[in-house]
Structure 1
Amino acid sequence: MTPAGHLVHGMGQALEAPTWPAITIGEATAVLARFPAAGPPTGLHWHSPRPFSAAALVRTGTGTVLLKRHHHMLRSIAGLAEEHAFIAHLAAAGLSVPKVLATADGATAIAIDAWRYEAHRQAPGADLYRDRLSWTPFFSHAQAHAAGVALARLHLAAAGVAAPARRAQPLVASLTILPARDPLAAAEAYVAARPALAAFLTTRPWRAQLAALFATLGDGLPAVLADQPPLWTHNDWHPSNLLWTDDGSVRTVIDFGLADRTCAVHDIATAIERSAIRWLDLPQGDDIADPAAALALLAGYASRVPLAAADIAAIVRLLPLVHLEFALSEIDYFTAVVADPAAAALTWDGYAIGHAVWFRSAAGQALLRRIGEAKP
């Protein structure tokens, strides 16, 4: 039974009824019995407001466990194994990440009926942003700086991951369109591989819309990205995916659901797009950017991993379109998994196209200029 009053993040600033039923204590007991290290549940004390899956913190005899449930059309056992392998590599390299629990036979995810489950030991650090929306800015520029430091540390820890890019699945921030010599052809291939997304776009002039964006915002971008070394990256670097220490530094990085093989500047641009632009305020006007937050994040990153002038230039070139492939993946979720055409339309018009168009505004151009003036 869904807890009374349990709501999740919607497409705007209002909370909404959840798509996926909340995890119950009976369900948690049955699932965690398959994970011996978890211990028997004694109660639930938080249900996540994030909308694309169900998650809860479960008190057990050995501590607190984060139990997550995904629909099988969103994540397969193999898809979760991709994430867990990346987390394991980062942990071995010394990064603080969630400890993924395993079954008696060593599996880190299980299938029960239409659901796929994973369980993590509760990670250390203060979850200061856990109930806030994904595009919430950092509380301070000092935290943006600390987040940049932590992102650089993650990239250092990710070096050496040899796994290929993830298999096609909804809600993964891949990078196949923008680096292609012909981005429009790559977008057509991306769409064709996802029948529900393709069906949704048939009534829209999407090729012309993307061609216009590539011409005005992406000219020369494939050549820029061709010079960037591939790297497994987080791809969802926003405040609520970071846990914090009392002194304001990042203690633990969480939520690797969007992770994939991209490149460092893609992750940095995504971090700026997620946290330095108040997208939810866009209906009230174009003045929504915080250039100082973007510069603080870059400065924090550069304090651990130097950024060359070419890297800064690549971030500037990439930022207006860095969201595009994930926006298409999100539409694939809304069409193939949950059949929500209204949310799909809002994602296309307001997110995929609307966010890119904002970068052609005076405020968007001003943000790009400020970032371009950052000192390597």
Structure 2
Amino acid sequence: MNPQRTAHGLGLDPVAADWPALHEADIQHLLREYPHLGQLRSLHWHSPRPFSAAGLITTSSATLFVKRHHQQVRQATWLEEEHRLIAHLHRQGAPVAAVVPNRQGATATKQGEWTYEIHHVAKGLDLYRDALSWSPFQTTQHALAAGVALAQLHQTAEGYTAPHRQTEVLLANARLIEQPAPLAAIANTPALAEYLADKDWHPQLTELLLPWHAPLQPLLQQQPPLWTHNDWHASNLLWNEDGTVSSVLDFGLADRTFALYDLATAIERNAVPWLDLDSDGPAIADLDSVDALLAGYHQIRPLSAQDLHTLSALLPLVHVDFALSEVAYYQGVVGSTRSADVAYHAYLLGHLQWFAGAQGQRLLAHIRRKSV
């Protein structure tokens, strides 16, 4: 059975998926490239994540996770950059699920207009399976454990030195905000040209982005590079019964950034109920979760006063590169100007405006005056 697929959208309500659901016939065809996995027995869960089609399958040998991307989003060589990071982390003992190679030994398989990957199923309780992006931790214990696990992942990633990823859409990094002239860098990004052509974007970002950028830029130059997860939300973690992290999922946005970028992203993803803004709510940050997340991280990788200062300076801009990447994806790949508008106005500009307001200032001041 292959139901009409819905996916998480840019708001609270599910939307029609941009990509068709996985079908049994597609999986059967794919498994010819993986003869060691046996025959398909069932396709029994479809992921609600929006940027690809994914699900759980059971074959005659195992239960596995299958993910399919359009080649405009992830070509095989682009996807294998992510897989090499996962392989490094797995070899070092990190709690990540290994990617299954096909009969040629490659971990990404091209079929028609699609690129597929198959993962072993990670261990742990999927307590946030249906959670939307930006939904909060269920408990402060989860926030603490997420901080511990993030710091442990950063320790494991320290020996990995691959260059930046090549793909142009759906990556979270700091490439634009690291530039001394970020608006010029945005203007010179081909994937954004069509969307921005009729927008009054330059004065908007001059007002909303540049005041944050000026004090941040010299701090960014001091950060040692590190391959990071860049989507550290509770739904990308599996859990043990005692509230600790069992496994880490979904390295789809991973890239070479720096540790505090990943930590700032974790705060942005989990501690602010951004979807409240859709109903004109104040989106009040959960400072207890922020404290627990930072305390957990500090247990493994101690945070200095300068680190906390950098975090507070970085948080207002940590979403910028990914928000613009979403704009490029929705406009250039999906062909949905409506969704690109939401990514631009509600996500990119809306979050910048929030940080300039009372609730954003409350969060930043709290981090600045903390001692972990």
Which residue number in structure 2 is paired with residue 296 of structure 1?
292
Which residue of the partner structure matches residue 184 of structure 2? 185
State the one-letter code of the partner of 2:129. R
Residues 95-138 of structure 1: CA deviation (Å, up to 9, x unaligned): 01111000111100111110110000111111111111111111
The equivalent of 1:27 in structure 2 is 26
Provide the residue aligned with 1:354 in structure 2.
Answer: 350
Identity of aligned residues (%): 47
Q: Partners of 1:36 and 1:268 in 2: how far apart?
A: 40
Equivalent-residue separation in structure 1 for 2:293 and 2:35 (angstroms): 40
Describe the shift of the 1:183–1:300 C-alpha distance in structure 2 as closer, same or farther (beyond 3 A).
same
Query: What is the alpha-carbon distance in structure 1 between the residues aligned to residue 319 and residue 195 of structure 2?
Result: 19
Tell me the residue number matched to 2:306.
310
Specify the alignment match of 1:40 in structure 2. 39
Shift of 1:242: 0.4
Unaligned runs of 5+ in 2: none
Hey, what does 1:333 align to over in structure 2?
Answer: 329
Normalization by structure 1: what TM-score? 0.96
Structure 1 residue aligned with 2:252, among 257, 261, 266? 257
Q: Contact 2:55–2:66 (CA<8 Å) still a contact in 1?
A: yes
Q: Note if 1:370 corresponds to 2:366.
A: yes
Deviations 1:153-195 (CA, angstroms, capped at 9, x unpaired): 1100100111001114210112212222222222223x2x32x
Pairing partner for 1:205 from 200, 217, 229: 200
**Aligned-partner Cα distance in 1 for 2:108–2:90:** 18
Report how many residues are paired.
Answer: 371
Pick closer, same or farther for the CA change 1:174–1:254 going to 2, 3 Å: same
1:225 aligns with 2:224: no
Tell me by how many angstroms 1:287 deviates.
4.0
Is the CA contact 1:22–1:54 (under 8 Å) kept in the aligned structure 2? Answer: yes
TM-aligned CA deviation for residue 40 of structure 1: 1.5
* Contact 2:274–2:283 (8 Å) recurs in 1: no
1:359 match: secondary structure: helix
- Residue among 240, 243, 250 paired with 1:245: 240
CA distance in 2, matches of 1:54, 1:168: 18
Are the counterparts in 1 of residues 73 and 167 from structure 2 also a CA contact under 8 Å? no
Higher mean alpha-carbon deviation, 302-311 vs 206-215, is at: 206-215
Map of 2:166 onto structure 1: 167
Whole-Å Cα distance in 1 between the matches of residues 333 and 35 of structure 2? 31
Per-residue CA deviation, residues 22-54 of structure 1 (Å, 9 max, x unaligned), is: 111121111122123422110011000011100
Q: Distance in 2 between matches of 1:355 and 1:17?
A: 25
| Matched letter for residue 222 of structure 1 | Q
User: C-alpha distance in 2, partners of 1:288/1:220?
Assistant: 25
Q: 1:363 deviation in Å?
A: 0.9
TM-score, length basis structure 2: 0.97
RMSD (CA atoms): 1.2
Give the conservation status (yes or no) of the 8 Å contact 1:233–1:267: yes
Conservation of the 8 A alpha-carbon contact between 1:242 and 1:254: yes
Tell me, in whole angstroms, the C-alpha distance in 2 between the residues paired with 1:136 and 1:255: 17
In the alignment, the residues of structure 2 paired with residue 368 and residue 120 of structure 1 have an alpha-carbon distance, to the nearest angstrom, of 38
Residues 75, 169 of structure 1: 8 Å contact kept? no
- 8 Å Cα contact 2:330-2:339 kept in structure 1: yes
Identify the residue that residue 8 of structure 2 maps to in structure 1.
9
Q: CA deviation at 1:218?
A: 2.0
Tell me which residue corresponds to 1:118.
Answer: 117
Q: Is the 8 A contact 1:2 1:21 kept in 2?
A: no
Contact 2:100 2:119 in 1 (8 A): yes
Residues 279-326 of structure 1: per-residue CA shift (max 9 Å, x gap):
011133224211111111011000000111111111100001100000
Distance 1:215 1:106 in 2: 47
